[in-house]
A and B are shown apart, each in its own frame.
Chain A
Amino acid sequence: MLAAEPGVTRILTGGTDVMVQMRAGLAAPALVVDVKHLTGLRAITPEAGGYRIGAAVPGAVMGEHAGLRALWPGVVEGVELIGSTQVQGRATMAGNLCNGSPAADAVPGLVAADAVVRIMGVDGARDCPVIDIPAGPGRTTLAKGDIVTSIFLPARPARSGDAYLRFTPRSEMDIAVVSAAVSLTLGADGAVTAARVALGAVAPTVLLVDEAAQAIIGTRLDDAALAALAAACSAACRPIDDKRGTVAFRTQVAGVLARRAASIARDRAHSAGDAA
C-alpha cells in the first residue's frame, strides 16, 4: 500500500513528529499508515540475552521495563529524555530514529549499543545496524514501503555499562544542542576492554567515533584517557552554527559530555559487575 502510493507517505507510530509536522504545514502526506496495532509491534521480548523492542513501544513502557533498564540503562535514559510525560506515552524509539533528526535523543545510545533494526520491506524482512539508517537531516536510507518492525538490543558481557547525556539550555522540553553516548565493557582488572562512542547534533547524522573509543580501550579511564576521549570527540565534530549553538560550543561540549558519559558508564559497569 505504501509502496503503491505515488504521493508523499508517512508511517505513524507515536505520531509525535508526524502530527506536529502536519499541523505546522511541514508535511502534507497523501497517505498516513498507523502501524502501532500490527501484531508484535508493541512488545518487548527477551531474545538471546538481549531484548527485541517492537517499533510501537512507547518510551514510558521502556522506562518501566526493569530488565531492559538494567541491561541498557543508557539507551533507556536517551528514550526517556524525549519530551514530557504526555509525549512519553506515545513517542517511540523507532519513530525517533526514522524521523531522521541529527539531534534525536534515542539514536546515539542505540548506535553506541550497536543495536540492529529489523525492517519489513516489499521484498521481505532484513536486518540493518542502526548507524546505517540516518542519511541526513530528515532523511533515512529506508525505501518507500519499508517498515521498521523492531529494534534489537543485544546481550552484553558482565561489567558493561552505557550512558547518554545531552546538552539543552532548558532542563526539559528542549532539543539537544549536542549529545553523547558511551557504551563500554570493563575487564576484571577494571580496564576498558570494549567501547563505542556516539555523538548527536554535531554532524548531519549521528557519528560513531572510533578514535574516541580507541582512546579509552585499554585504559582505566584515568584523567589522561578521558581527556584523550574528549579531544577525539571534539575533533570528530562537523557541526553548524545556528540559533541553538555555535560550532565552537558544540565542538567543546561534545567532548565534555562524552567524558562525563564515559564516567557514568564506567560506574554502571562496576555496579553491573558487582551485581553479577
Chain B
Amino acid sequence: MPRDNNDTRVFKVVGTRPPRPDGIDKVTGRAMYGADVTAPGMLSAQILRSPHAHARIVAIDTAAAAALPGVKAIVTAADFMAQDDAGLDDILVNCMARDVVLYDGHAVAAVAATTPAIARAALKLIDVTYEALPHVTDVDAAMRPDAPVVQAGRANESVPAGMSPNVTHHCEFGHGDVDAGFAAADVIVERSFTTAATHQGYIEPHACLATFTGEDKADLWCCTQGQYNVRTVCAALMGMEASQLRVTASEIGGGFGGKTTVFIEPVALALSRKAGRPVKIVMSRDEVFRATGPTVSSSIDVRIGMTRDGRITAGEAVLRYSGGAFPCGTVDMGAQSAFAAYDMPAVRTLGWNALTNRPKEAAYRAPGAPMAIYAVESVVDELCQTLALDPLDVRLKNAARKGTLSSYGPTFDDIGLVATLEAAKAHPHYHAPLGPGQGRGLSAGFWFNFGGNTCVSLNINTDGTVGVTEGNPDIGGSRAAISQMAAEELGLPYEKIRTIVADTASLGHNDVTDGSRVTFAVGLATIKAAQDAVAKMCARAAAIWGIDPDAVEWVDGAAQPCGPNAGKFPPMSLAEIAAVSFQTGGPIAGHHEFNADGAGVSFGVHLVDVEVDRETGATKVLRYTVFQDAGKAVHPSYVEGQMQGGAVQGIGWALNEEYIYGEDGRLQNPGFLDYRIPVASDLPNIDTVILEIPNPGHPYGVRGVGETPIVPPLAALSNAVSRAIGLRLNRLPMSPPRILAALSGS
C-alpha cells in the first residue's frame, strides 16, 4: 500500500500524548475486570487439579461432593465432547484432563456451588484414583529415545523415524552454503544454551462468568486478549452455533500473550449448562502458575563463523523447545528469527519441539524469539570479545537492511536496524565509563509483527462526536491510539472520539490482540472507516449544495467545495453535517473490514550496564537504554511503555524468573514470592529512544512495537554479566547461586 507522502505529512493528533480514556477508571477502581462481573443466582466454581506430573486417572468418584448441600453441578472430561480437530481437542484436554493427567495442576474435575467455600469443600470430597506414570520435565531428557513418553502418536510428518515419541515437530530454515561459509571463517565459536520457562506474570488472574439462557444460547464475560477466538473455540467445544454464544471481553489486567487462549471458559460454560445458573470462575495465583501457559523452555546450540575483521561467514542453530504436554509450533518462530538481524551468506536453523510434563505453552510477547536470539547474540558477543572488535561495529557491519535476503526467506523492505544501531552508537550511554565489577552488554532483537482480520465501525453522532467500535481488548493503550488516528483522519479534536471494545455480536471477526497488530491493523481499519465516513459526509454536503460529490473535499474537519469551479459555499463542519443527517439520508457511519497485510518487521537494540557482586552472585542493573524503530509513534508514551515493559520482563527472565520443577515433577514456585519478577526497586529508569522509519505498509508508517522489546534483554543482560565477571554464562536465569557457582568454578 502506498504511503500518503508520509515523510512530509504534518500530523496534528498522531504523535501527541493525550491522556488515555481508560486511565481514570483504572486508577479509581471503576474499571470492570474479569472478576468484577456478577449475575443474579450466580454460582462459584472451583477446579480440582492433579497433584501428579503424569498419571492415569483410574476413577473419579464425585458422589460425596455431589451430595454436599449447595453443590449444583460437577463436571469432568465425561461432560465434554472430544473434538475431531487435533488443535481444538488439545485445548479441550488442557482445560479438563481425559483419562490421563499430563502435568502438575492439570484440571480433573470442577464443582459449581452456591458459595466459594462450599465449592472448595466439595473438591476435597472428590475421590480421584491415580496410577502414577513416569514423567519428564526437561526438554533434553524428553528428546532421548528412552525418555518417559508424555503422549504417543503426536509426531507430525516432519519428524524422522527413530526419535523419541515426545518429538512432535521439526522445521528447517536458511539459505547458502553453510559448510563453505564456515570454511571461510577465521574464528568459529560454538556454544550450547538453556533457558527456563517463564510466565507472563500478568497481575490479573483469569476470570470469567458464563450463563446459559437457553439450552443452546449463552453469554460469556471473560478476561481475554481475543473475545472472537474465545467464541470460536468455546462454541466448537460446547457444540453451539457461534451466533448463540456472545462473548464480552472485560478490561484486562495484563496478558502479554497469555490470554490468547482459553483455560476456564469452557469449564464455566459446561457447569452453567448443567446447573442452569450463571457460573463464575476466578483462578488463584497458584492456579495461574500451574495451569495456564508459560513460555517454552529451551535448549539451543549455536555456531557462528567470523572473519578477523568481523564479517559473519556462516551461522547455524539447533533449537530444542518444549511447549509442555501438547504439540507446539513455537520453535518455528525461534528458528526463523534467530539470525534475522544479520545479512548472511549462509545460514541454517533447525528446530525441534518435544513434549514434557509441563503446562501447555501460551504465547508470551514475541513467542519463540527471545531465547533463540539470546543464544545467537551471546555467540556474536563472544566472537567480538575474542577478536577484540567493537560489538556495535560488528553488528553494523553485518546488519540486515533493505534488500537483504532474510534468514527465514523473505527479502526485507525498509527496515530500521541500521538506524537503530547507529542511534545506539551515538548515544552517551555507549561511551559512559564503567566502574570496577561492572560490564556493558548489548543485543539486537527482532520481531515479525502481524496484521490479520480486523473489522471496525465508526459512527458519526448527531452532536458532532464520534464513536469508534472495534473488537480488540486494549492491553497497551490502544483505545487512545485508535482515537488519535480517527481524530487525525476526521480532523476532529481527540476528545470528540470515544473508542470502545465491542462484544462478538457487534462486529465481524477480529483476530486476537497479539502479534503487535492492534495499533497497526485496527488503526489502519479505523483510518479506512474514517475515510469511508468522510466520503459519505462529503456526499451529504454535496447534496445540500447541489453539486457533484467529487467536487467536495475534506479539510480540517469540514467539507468544502474543491476548486473554484465547484461553487462558492462556506465549509460545513462534521458537526453541521451530523446535525442535519436525519434530513439528508439518515445516520452516517464508516466501516472497514479486511485481512491486514503489510505489518512491517521491527528491530530494537538494548544497551545495559550491570554490576555483579562477586561474593554473592547478585547482579544490579545500573543503566538501561532501549532503541527501537516504531515506524511512527502514534502515542509516544505508550510506545515508551511497551519498550520499558519489555525490557523489565526481559530483565526478570534473564536474572531470576523460572519454572522450578522438583524430582517429583511438581512445580515448586507457583507464586510471586518464589517466581521472582523484578520489583521497582530492582530497576533503574529504563531510558528509551524511539526511531521512526516509516512502515511502507501503513498510511502513517506505523509498525507494531509491543513484542520486539522483550527480545534483546536476555542476551544484553547475559553479555553484560559475562563481561562484568570475565566468564561466559550460557544458562538462564543467571540467578545469584548460578553466578556464584560459576565464579567458584563449580
Number of interface residues of B (CB under 8 A): 24
Min C-beta distance of A110 to chain B, whole Å:
23
For A245, list chain B residues within 8 Å (CB). Answer: 736-737
Residues facing A in B700-746 (CB within 8 A) are 735-737, 740-741, 744, 746
Contact of A249 among B655, B679, B740 (CB under 8 A): B740
Q: Mask for A47-80, Cβ within 8 A of B = 1, else 0?
A: 0000000000000000000000000000000000
For A170, list chain B residues within 8 Å (CB). Answer: 656, 676, 678-679, 682
Which of B85-93, B248-256, B274-282, B666-674 contacts its partner?
A: B666-674
Check A169–B679 contact: CB distance below 8 A. no
Complex Cα–Cα for A249 and B618 (A): 11
Check A249–B617 contact: CB distance below 8 A. yes
Complex Cα–Cα for A246 and B740 (A): 10
Check A167–B616 contact: CB distance below 8 A. yes
Check B735–A243 contact: CB distance below 8 A. no
Check B744–A248 contact: CB distance below 8 A. yes
Assuming the A-B contacts A170-B678, A174-B676, are A246 and B615 also in contact, with contact meaning beta carbons closer than 8 angstroms in the complex?
no
For A248, list chain B residues within 8 Å (CB). Answer: 737, 740-741, 744, 746
B660 CB–A CB distance under 8 Å:
yes
Check B673–A174 contact: CB distance below 8 A. yes
Assuming the A-B contacts A170-B679, A244-B674, are A252 and B744 also in contact, with contact meaning beta carbons closer than 8 angstroms in the complex?
yes
Complex Cα–Cα for A257 and B615 (A): 9
Complex Cα–Cα for A243 and B670 (A): 11
B28 CB–A CB distance under 8 Å:
no
**A246 closest partner in B (C-beta):** B737
Number of A-B contacts (CB under 8 A): 54
**B743 closest partner in A (C-beta):** A252
**B614 closest partner in A (C-beta):** A256
Q: Is the interface of B mostly helix, strand, loop or mixed?
A: loop
For B681, list chain A residues within 8 Å (CB). Answer: 171-172
Of A170, A172, A245, A253, the most chain B CB neighbours within 10 A belong to: A170
Min C-beta distance of A246 to chain B, whole Å:
5
A173 CB–B CB distance under 8 Å:
yes
Complex Cα–Cα for A167 and B744 (A): 18
A213 CB–B CB distance under 8 Å:
no
Min C-beta distance of A124 to chain B, whole Å:
39
Assuming the A-B contacts A169-B656, A171-B681, A172-B681, are A253 and B676 also in contact, with contact meaning beta carbons closer than 8 angstroms in the complex?
no
Min C-beta distance of A90 to chain B, whole Å:
18
Assuming the A-B contacts A167-B616, A170-B679, A253-B615, are A175 and B741 also in contact, with contact meaning beta carbons closer than 8 angstroms in the complex?
no
Min C-beta distance of A194 to chain B, whole Å:
27
**A257 closest partner in B (C-beta):** B616
For A25, list chain B residues within 8 Å (CB). Answer: 120
For B736, list chain A residues within 8 Å (CB). Answer: 167, 169, 177, 245, 249
For A167, list chain B residues within 8 Å (CB). Answer: 616, 618, 736
Check A173–B617 contact: CB distance below 8 A. no
Q: Is the interface of A mostly helix, strand, loop or mixed?
A: loop
Q: Mask for A165-193, Cβ within 8 A of B = 1, else 0?
A: 00101111111010000000000000000
Of A169, A174, A248, A256, the most chain B CB neighbours within 10 A belong to: A169
Min C-beta distance of A111 to chain B, whole Å:
22
Min C-beta distance of B280 to chain A, whole Å:
19
Of A25, A245, A249, the most chain B CB neighbours within 10 A belong to: A249
Complex Cα–Cα for A252 and B186 (A): 42
Check A243–B660 contact: CB distance below 8 A. yes
Complex Cα–Cα for A242 and B616 (A): 17
Min C-beta distance of A85 to chain B, whole Å:
12
For A252, list chain B residues within 8 Å (CB). Answer: 615, 740, 744
Check B679–A172 contact: CB distance below 8 A. yes
Complex Cα–Cα for A170 and B683 (A): 10
Check B676–A169 contact: CB distance below 8 A. yes
Check A169–B735 contact: CB distance below 8 A. yes
Assuming the A-B contacts A243-B668, A249-B737, are A171 and B679 also in contact, with contact meaning beta carbons closer than 8 angstroms in the complex?
yes
Q: Mask for B606-647, Cβ within 8 A of A = 1, else 0?
A: 000000000111100000000000000000000000000000
**B660 closest partner in A (C-beta):** A243
**A178 closest partner in B (C-beta):** B616
Min C-beta distance of B328 to chain A, whole Å:
25
**A250 closest partner in B (C-beta):** B737
**B613 closest partner in A (C-beta):** A256
Q: Mask for A106-147, Cβ within 8 A of B = 1, else 0?
A: 000000000000000000000000000000000000000000
Complex Cα–Cα for A217 and B275 (A): 73
For B616, list chain A residues within 8 Å (CB). Answer: 167, 253, 256-257
For B676, list chain A residues within 8 Å (CB). Answer: 169-170, 174
Assuming the A-B contacts A169-B676, A172-B681, are A253 and B740 also in contact, with contact meaning beta carbons closer than 8 angstroms in the complex?
yes
Complex Cα–Cα for A170 and B673 (A): 10
**B669 closest partner in A (C-beta):** A243
Q: Mask for A199-239, Cβ within 8 A of B = 1, else 0?
A: 00000000000000000000000000000000000000000
For A177, list chain B residues within 8 Å (CB). Answer: 736
Check A171–B737 contact: CB distance below 8 A. no
Complex Cα–Cα for A53 and B697 (A): 69
For B678, list chain A residues within 8 Å (CB). Answer: 170
Complex Cα–Cα for A175 and B669 (A): 13
Q: Mask for B253-294, Cβ within 8 A of A = 1, else 0?
A: 000000000000000000000000000000000000000000
Contact of B682 among A171, A175, A243 (CB under 8 A): A171
Complex Cα–Cα for A60 and B671 (A): 26
8 pairs across A/B with beta carbons < 8 Å? Answer: A25-B120, A167-B616, A169-B656, A171-B682, A245-B736, A248-B744, A249-B740, A253-B616
Interface residues of A (CB under 8 A from B): 25, 167, 169-175, 177, 242-246, 248-249, 252-253, 256-257
Given contacts A170-B679, A175-B673, 7 further A-B contacts (CB under 8 A): A169-B655, A169-B656, A244-B674, A248-B744, A249-B737, A249-B740, A252-B744
